[in-house]
Amino acid sequence: MPAIDAEAFLRDLYDLRKIGAFRTGVHRPTYSPQDMESRRWLMAKLTECGLDASIDGIGNVYGRHPGPGPHVLVGSHIESQNEAGWLDGALGVVAGVALARAGLPVDVCAFADEEGHFEGGFLGSRSIIGELSEEEIDRSRNRTDGSKLRDALQAAGLAGKPRMQLEPGRHKGFFEMHIEQGTQLETAGLQIGVVTGIVAIWQWRIVVTGQQDHAGGTTMAERKDAGLAAVRLLAAIDAEFPRICGERSTWTTGRITLDPGAPSIIPGRADVLFQFRDVSVPMLERMEAGLRALVREAARRERCSFELQAVSKAIPALCDPTMMAALSGAAEAIAPGKWQEMPSGAGHDAQNIARRMPAAMLFVPSIGGISHHWAEDTKDEDLMQGIRVLDEAARRFLAA
């Protein structure tokens, strides 16, 4: 079996970057002419590397290894956010091409619309695991211009094509290589992140009800200030959460709306959007218990009432320990001391594929953490180290 060709991998990435080029990034919204051109480019590359290439009814491009297994699946997405980076998604797809070129028994997939140009998002990875209905496709519209997904599929020449499904039992696991989209690796001077899991978001709405009053006539002692009660609760969360959270837990207050929001009126109502994230369900549950206790305590202490609504509670996607061990071992062999384990704070196709097979992810650094912007970039040497580690990890995992 030939060794991995990191230079050819880089050449492929730079080739793909020309399709839909926008400044130093790319503009390849899902099913646009540029996106479809990139899918045709990919099919040619897969064929060149000896895979049987096809495109399905949702736009997934699939390269099937013709030889015997065991196989691994490798991939990501190939469309981009609008006027965004050249590596987000493309990296994981071209990594699959590189492993195929090196003769590994890999299937390669570019999942359509991970970026969610259409309502629902993750169309390709949800379709291939059987979790995207025809009814949802009928309903979904483009988030930018409101046009119908069905019309976009028709225009792209995909209407009427069957949608492929994963072949049960065919794959030992799924690898997705991706840019970090943060500054962890760069700040620590590392080249490789072995992803432990994709965090789940537990999103909450906190509604505080007090008494709307004129700010002139109402003494401080008489007030039932919903805004101040919300501020005190959020300050208490800020003080308490570090004691109950995991090392990489995050929590965020994204919005505070005071009603009526006028300078001389004591707010009668405060509406807060609050979320926390972690890869561990027991940790998420502990944070929920902590949040509930703080809200109860606030309700006891304040002259306002509190309502805590769970808006959404997702399930984190944990990475497969055997695959993680293969990645860690490969990273230590190729980039000793230059890697770490870390969660993924953002969502990826891997979270869907993980529902059907073991899955794992490998991160390479993002320069300055820039993401979803045309200035997104990663050093060539980090990209090359990444593909070397992925290649070695896939070999170790296949042999395990």
Residue 162 touching its own copies (CB under 8 A): no
Residue from the set 214, 243, 282, 336 that interacts with its own copies by CB under 8 A? 214
Give residue for tokens 């999103």: 203
Q: Are 196 and 291 in contact (CB under 8 A)?
A: no
Q: Shortest gap between Cβ of 230 and its own copies (angstroms)? A: 9
**CA gap 90, 39 in Å, rounded:** 11
Q: Which of residues 350-389 bind its own copies (CB under 8 A)?
A: 369, 371-372
Q: Shortest gap between Cβ of 232 and its own copies (angstroms)? A: 6
Cβ nearer to its own copies, comparing 103 with 345: 345
Residue from the set 32, 34, 184, 191 that interacts with its own copies by CB under 8 A? 184
Residue from the set 7, 252, 293, 380 that interacts with its own copies by CB under 8 A? 252
Handedness of CA 241, 245, 247, 252 (dihedral sign): negative
What track of x and - describes contact with its own copies for positions 313 through 352 (by CB under 8 A)? -------------------------------xxxx-----
Binding window for its own copies (CB under 8 A); candidates: 49-57, 148-156, 197-205, 323-331: 197-205
Residue from the set 81, 181, 191, 280 that interacts with its own copies by CB under 8 A? 181
Q: Are 127 and 28 in contact (CB under 8 A)?
A: no
Q: Shortest gap between Cβ of 328 and its own copies (angstroms)? A: 21
Tokens describing residue 381:
């040497």
Residue from the set 155, 207, 256, 314 that interacts with its own copies by CB under 8 A? 256
Cβ nearer to its own copies, comparing 268 with 386: 268
What track of x and - describes contact with its own copies for positions 221 through 250 (by CB under 8 A)? -x--x-xx--xx-xx--x---x-----xxx
Task: Using CB under 8 A, list all residues that contact its own copies.
Answer: 180-184, 187, 199, 201, 203, 213-220, 222, 225, 227-228, 231-232, 234-235, 238, 242, 248-256, 258, 261-267, 273, 275, 277, 311, 344-347, 369, 371-372
